[in-house]
Amino acid sequence: TTWSGKTIGWKLVDGPTPGRTFEHTLHSDGSIVWRAVDGAYKGASRQEKHYSAARIDDQAWAVSYLAESGHTLTVVLNFANHQAIGDR
């Protein structure tokens, strides 16, 4: 995808980790690395085996991956209003 090599950061406003910021780096081999930027787990990071990214339109993409922990993260990134809506 066009996302390979890109790092995307977002701050969560609700859910299980409100107020925390995470970065996700998407690699050309299909893996994704997440990193906690702040909060109790600041600096925690893990490389997950595979992510999928799908273009919704010119301003929105969906990104999803299954973490080794068993949790699936799916997020829709809206670049028109700089918001991310997701579910874990």
Cα–Cα distance for residue pair 74/63, rounded to 1 Å: 6
pLDDT at 32: 96
pLDDT in tens, 54-74: 999 999 999 999 999 898 989
Q: Count the neighbouring beta carbons within 10 Å of the beta carbon of residue 65.
A: 21
pLDDT at 88: 60
pTM for the model stands at 0.83
pLDDT in tens, 6-17: 898 888 888 777
Helices (H), ranges, 1-88: none
